[in-house]
Each structure stands twice: as C-alpha cells, then as structure tokens.
Structure 1
Amino acid sequence: MFDSLKKKFSRTSEKLEEELIEEAEKEDNLKEEEGTRFSFFSFGRKKEQKEEKEEEDSNLLPESADEPEEVEDSVDEIETPEVEAEPVEEESEEEKQEEKKSGFWSRFRSSDDSKEETPEDDDQDENIAEEVAEVPDEIEEEEVEEEKEEKKSHFWSRNKDKKDISADGEAKGGIFSFVREKTIQEKHVEDILFELEMELLQGDVAMEVATEVVENVKDNLVGKKIKRSNDITEYTYNALRDSVAEIIDIPGKSMTEMIEEKNAQGEPLVVMFVGINGTGKTTTIGKLANYYLKKGYTPVIAASDTFRAGAIEQVTYHADNVGVKIIKHQKGSDPAAVAFDAVEHAKAQGKELVLIDTAGRMQTNTNLMDEMKKIKRVSKPDLVIFVGDALTGNDATEQAKKFNDAIDIDGVILTKADADSKGGASLSIGYVIKKPIMFLGVGQGYDDIMEYDADWMLNQLFSDDEEVLELAE
C-alpha cells in the first residue's frame, strides 16, 4: 500500500543528504568514519523494535543462581571461533585498504581480481604508460577531477548496493560526519521541498494538503544542527512523519462508540450512505452489516435506492449472504419512505443499527442531491457517511467536498484502499473536508473491512515492510 508516497518521502531524505554532503565537501568539512548507515525507513522499525524489546524485558523472569556458570561455559565455547576468525578480519582490512587506493592506474585495473595477467596485458600496460607520459597538463587536471567525483560518489554507490544493506535497513561500511557541525538552512531545503510538493500533487494529493506537508517539514528541518549523515536522514524522517501525522489524524468518534451511546438510550444508530455509482457503496453496507453482526449487534438494511435497475436486488443479495433483515418497497417508490420504515422497524424490534443505502449520483446533479436531503430529513440519521473509491485520488476528494457542502457528511469510508499505491485520497480527504475516515475497504470479501486507525495508516506510509493487513475484529 501507498508505495508511491513511500518513495517520494525517502527520495526527499536522500536529496537533502546529498545536498549537505556536497556542500560540506566543498568547504573541506567532511570526513568518512566507521559506522552503520541507516536507511530512511529503518528509523521507524528501530522504534518499534525498541518498544517490543522493552516489553519483552519487562516480562522476563529473574535468573537463577546457576545461570552465570552456564553463561561462562557458553562463552568458553565461542572463544575458539573468534581466534579462527582473526585471519578473515585481517583479510577484510587489506581489502578495505585496497578500496581506499586511488589513482589513474586503478581506472585500467580489471574488475575481476582473480583474473591472471597475460603477456598481452603487460604490453598494453607499457603502451598506456607511454601515452600517460605525453598527457597534457589540462587532461591531467581533468582526470583528477573525475577521480574526485568517483571518490565523492563512492559512499552512495556502495550503500545503494543491496548486498551491503541488512534486513534492518542498515548499510555496513561507514558514514559521513562533519568536522564542523552544520546547520540546515532554508537554501538547503528550498528546491528539494519544491520537488516534493510537485511529486505529491502528481500522486493525487490535494493542493492544500501538499502545501501543508511541505511547510511543516520546512519548519521542522530549518535550524537543525547536523553532526553525521545519519542525523540528516533521521531528522527528515521525523519531520515528514510528524507532518503527515497532523494531516491524517482527524478527531471523531468511532461508529462502535456511537452504537453503544445510542444503545444506552434505547435507540438504534441510524447511518445513511451517500456517494456516486461504482464506488462500492452497496457492497460496503453488506460488509458493515457482517462486521457488526459478528460484534453481537443486530443490523437492518434499508433499500432506499429505488430507481436504479437491479439496485434493490443487489442490496438484497448482500443482506441474504450475511444474514440480516432488509426493508424494501417496490421499484420506483419513495426512497425516504423506505428509510423511515427501516428506522421504525429497528425501534420496534430492538435492533441496534440501521444502514440506509441510497442511489449513487454525481455530486453535480442538483435535483438528485435535493432528493437525498429529503431522505436525511425523514430518517434523521445520526451519521451521514460518504463512500469513495481510493483509487480515484483527487476525484474522491472533490466528490466528498461537494457532498459535504450539500448535506453535511459526518465521515468517510474509502474502498479499495488495499490496491491504492499512490495514497493521495487517503492522505487528503479527511483533512480537506475536516471529517474523519471511519473505515477502509481492503478486499472483496465481507470480512475485508477495517476501522480506520491513524497510527496504523502512519506506519503503512513510513514502512517499507510488506505487512499483512490486520483486520479489526
């Protein structure tokens, strides 16, 4: 999920790191030291691993008095392999020294160190030596510049090699540090954040959301003091994560909490669903009926889409599959009357939840929007939920705005979120209309729906792991 946004965020970190390191090199303020380079996403995993370790440590039983002796024995057993490993360490040290050697001759060296030299190779070396002796001073200076470029890019190319990156997102071999501490200035981030804003817009993120993210990141980064290259990555990660966290966390009650509150008053929770055709509105109603049926509630569905051909049959099919009561009238009857009857049925039978299906309609159709207002007046829903297709990106956000202006929606359900690589709608829609996302559709089955959780969403956006979706029970 949201692979496109993940790449945009990580590229922002890489570009800022390159910008500062290039400037530091020009200032002769850069050195390479032994250490471990962390990837952009490794900071999130390390935080999770630290929390898990602390939780495990708190559950450990006290050690017995005999355990230290066993530990000593185990230490003795592993001492021998350490001694045997010394030649390997020396060999790796020699290899490292070889990497540091630079010069014109290394450019002609074969990439395969195991290849034996032939007489023809010796002749070639002699010819090359003669040519080098005749090289003008200008060309020699050019070669020196190229060698500097190679040296500067050595660290980046090495860490981009997947072989050097561990499962924890760490690259072994070394990090850059600054001789004199550097401070991130506005000039360092201006172009980089402009690129980020353009990329967010291309990823179907709403204009106001993209601008807000970029401004927050800028405020969080400018003025930060940097000692090592890892600091740049960590600060960028935290700045982006904090900015996105503010965007996606729109406060609001969950539907489950509202059902409990209404149930305490002896009333059913009435929920009206709106949206255009093709977004998965009717299927979502079937999923929610199944979801709350398994939680111990008794839903009833109102088939208030009375004009579209096959609409009543479609919602009846879902109701029968999950095993809930459906209230329906003849095709072409008054949709508001169907909704009213469903509410009265729920009150009479002591059912806790009424789910009202409505006709899908474009947000620009004034007459049909007026009809929806009538359904709302008659049924008096506690919640009006807009159902949008996450794959439509900015279109879903614009549709939600129009419906919100017309009938004042209370929340959003996004379908097909599991197939959404861009993440534009998920990031934008709640912030734009100032209403919370309540559920996400994450598959085609009746169980494939989950209550929206901002922390879960944040982890999806800032994790490169292929995580299995854990559906809310």
Structure 2
Amino acid sequence: MFKFLKDKVKKAVSNISDKFEKEGETVEEVPKVKKIKKVEKKKEVVKDKVEIKEKLREDIAPVVETVKEELKKQEVEEKKKEVKKGFLSSIREKVVTKKISQRQFEELFWDLEVELLENNVAFEVIEKIKQDLAKDLVDVPIKRGDVEKKITTSLKKSIEEVLDVEKVDVIEKIKSKKPYVIVFIGVNGSGKTTSIAKFAHLLKEKGFSIVLAAADTFRAASIQQLEEHGKNLGIKVIKHDYGSDPAAVGFDAVKYAKQKDLDVVLIDTAGRQHSNINLRDEMKKIIRVVNPDLKIYVGEMIAGNDCIEQIQEFNKAVKIDGAILSKADIDEKGGTAISVSYVTRKPIFYLGVGQEYGKLEEFDPQKIIKNLGL
C-alpha cells in the first residue's frame, strides 16, 4: 500500500537533503574549550624516625635525586598530554552546520511538492507541509550529515498533524442507541454497496443484528447486488420496486428494525455526482425522513483529487460524519488517505483493502505513516 508515494517521497527527501548540503550556507560554531583542571599529584610524605634520619640520609641521597629527576620528567610529559588533549577536543567539538534561506527553501521544496501533487495529495495539505518544513529548516543551522534526518522528522510530524482528526468510535456509537441508523452516500462506482456489505459483515461478527435498505431505486442492478450480499451474509434486505421513492425504502427499513428490535439499519443510496441538483435534493430528503445517526461518505482512493473534491462538496451539502475509502489495497499513491480528513476535518472510519467481506480495515494514522516509510 502506498509504495509509489513512499518511493517518491524518499527520493524527494534525499534530493532536498543533497542540495541542502551543497547549497546551504556553511556555519562553523566552535564552543568554548573547557579549562582542564590541573591534576594535583598526591605527595607521600614519609616521616622517618628522628633516630635513623641522619643515618639514612647519606645512603638514600643518590636515590632521592634520581626520583626527583623522574618526577620532573613525568610532570612535563603530563602537561604536554593535557595541552594536546585540549587542542584535539576543541577540534572534535567544532560543529560544522548548514543553513538555507527562504529563497533556497522554495527552490528545494519544489521537488517534494511535485511528487506530492502527482500522488494526489491535496493542495491545502501540501501548503501545510511546506509551512511546517520551512519553520524547521529556514535559517536554522543543522549539523552536516543530519539534514536528511531533520527533513524526514519534520515531514513525519507534519503528516501526523494532517491526520490528527478527532477519532470517532463507530462501534461504541452503535451501542448507544437502538436502532442506530446509518446512511451511505457517494458517487457511482465508488464501491459503496460492497463497502456496506463489508461493514454489515463486521457488525454481524461483533454480534449486532442488522437490516439493509436498498434505497438506490434508480438502478435495478444495485437492488439485486444488495440482495445478493444479504443472502450471503444472512441479513434481511428491505426493498421496493425499481423507480420507487428512496426515502420510503429508508423509512420502512427503520420501521422494520424497530418492530424486530434490531440494532442497526444500513441504508444504501443511489450514486450521484455532487453537481446533480435533483439527486442531491433527493439525498437531502432521505436524510430528512430517516434522520440518520451517522452519514458516511464512501469514496475510492484511486480517484485521487476527484475523490477529495467530491467529498468536500458532499460535506457542504449534507454534513457528512466521516468516510470509508475503498480500494486502498490497489492505491499505490496514497495522497487521498492523507488529504481527506484534513480538507473535511472529518475522520476516515475504515479502508477497503480487498474483495472479501472481511477486508475492511479500521483506519490507523500511524499505519499510514509507516507505509510512507516515515
């Protein structure tokens, strides 16, 4: 997952680091050399008995002179070593750093900006990353050899902030009310009906009782598709005839859930473009009639910036509560997952990571960071 973006980001960061090292202004900082404390040698004082002092003086005089000479030599050598050590320490402690101006940063960031744009990262997100990196890099002395690490750390921190949207525990919310009504919306071909079936499977595995509502009455194939999923999962599907009122289907599903004391109602709706005013008004009617507890947008990650634009428009129209992104397993770019929450300030609940019913994965920002190699 996200291999393409991971490779591109890694390459861009490496390029920026290399250019930073080559083009950045060199700054040498020499810290004050700490004074080395003079080591005082302990002198051993031998107190001779007065009675034998005079007697031994003549015998040990030559030895004493020899010892004195040796001590003088050792003291000179120690001083030489101390001077040498202090000099070498100051050389080793010299910090050679690099720093760049705002103009240089703009030129260097272009490499990363292009890669992010090509991998479906929203413009607003790129601007945020740019500001964060500039704050950490412009006119900031960085040790030579630490530039790439500094850039990577700053980039990771910025993307973590981009993904930092208040988490909503959908399962806990479902436990809070009965029946809990969820409406799914999105454009045609986004994997909406399949995502609903996966979510129904997940809920059933957790012990919830469910009813499905086939409120996409504009496509007979959609009704049949949801019915097929219902049979496979052993879940009741409420449907009306092709072309009937979608809001009525949703209403009947909620009514059925109340009668049967079911936990959850999952309502499928017709895929629609945000620019289609009639279908948008119909969607508002469904929401008004069933009064859902949660409105989930389903978009496919491989749609890239189109998905980001669509979710923004749907959010303006009906105030979505969060998203499920389908086809995450085949999206090597990953920019959509990074951008959706930031531009809407709404959480991503799940990622679709395969065709099987069990292939619905709870969204984990740290896993996204890891997949990007940060």
TM-score range, shorter chain: 0.7 to 0.9
- The aligned runs of 1:185-264 (5 Å cut-off) are 185-186=100-101, 187-229=103-145, 231-262=146-177
Counterpart AA for 1:218: A
Q: Residues of 2 paired with 1:7 and 1:219: CA distance? A: 25
Q: Residues of 2 paired with 1:297 and 1:275: CA distance? A: 25
- TM-score w.r.t. the length of structure 1 is 0.62
Aligned-pair CA distance for 1:355: 0.5
Aligned-pair CA distance for 1:394: 0.3
Aligned to 1:7: 7
CA contact (8 A) 1:213 1:244 kept: yes
Q: For 1:341, which of 252, 262, 275 is the aligned residue?
A: 252
Counterpart AA for 2:133: V
Q: Residues of 2 paired with 1:184 and 1:355: CA distance? A: 56
SS at 1:277's partner residue?
coil
Q: Deviations over 1:171-213 (max 9, x none)?
A: xxxxxx9964314333553212122112211222111111111
Q: Residues of 2 paired with 1:428 and 1:233: CA distance? A: 24
From the superposition, tell whether residues 417 and 178 of structure 1 become closer, same or farther in structure 2 (CA, over 3 Å): farther
Counterpart AA for 1:19: K
> Cα RMSD between the aligned structures?
2.1
Counterpart AA for 2:342: Y
1:376 aligns with 2:283: no
Q: Residues of 2 paired with 1:305 and 1:243: CA distance? A: 40
Which blocks of at least 5 consecutive residues in structure 1 are unaligned?
30-176, 464-473
Aligned-pair CA distance for 1:292: 0.7
Aligned to 1:458: 369
Counterpart AA for 1:15: N
CA contact (8 A) 2:13 2:112 kept: no
From the superposition, tell whether residues 27 and 361 of structure 1 become closer, same or farther in structure 2 (CA, over 3 Å): closer
Aligned-pair CA distance for 1:434: 1.4
SS at 1:211's partner residue?
helix
Q: Residues of 1 paired with 2:26 and 2:305: CA distance? A: 44
Aligned-pair CA distance for 1:324: 1.0
CA contact (8 A) 2:324 2:349 kept: yes
Which blocks of at least 5 consecutive residues in structure 2 are unaligned?
29-91
CA contact (8 A) 2:27 2:141 kept: no
Identity of aligned residues (%): 43
Q: Residues of 2 paired with 1:28 and 1:379: CA distance? A: 66
SS at 1:271's partner residue?
strand
Aligned to 2:193: 282
- TM-score w.r.t. the length of structure 2 is 0.78
Q: For 1:322, which of 223, 229, 233 is the aligned residue?
A: 233
Q: Deviations over 1:333-379 (max 9, x none)?
A: 21111111111221222211110000111111000110110000000
From the superposition, tell whether residues 4 and 349 of structure 1 become closer, same or farther in structure 2 (CA, over 3 Å): same
Counterpart AA for 2:16: L
Q: Residues of 2 paired with 1:221 and 1:298: CA distance? A: 54
Q: For 1:421, which of 332, 344, 351 is the aligned residue?
A: 332
Aligned-pair CA distance for 1:256: 0.8
Q: Deviations over 1:292-348 (max 9, x none)?
A: 100111111011111213221110001111111111122222111111111122122
Aligned-pair CA distance for 1:281: 0.4
Q: Residues of 2 paired with 1:428 and 1:251: CA distance? A: 15
Counterpart AA for 1:343: V
Aligned-pair CA distance for 1:399: 0.8
1:402 aligns with 2:318: no
From the superposition, tell whether residues 442 and 27 of structure 1 become closer, same or farther in structure 2 (CA, over 3 Å): closer
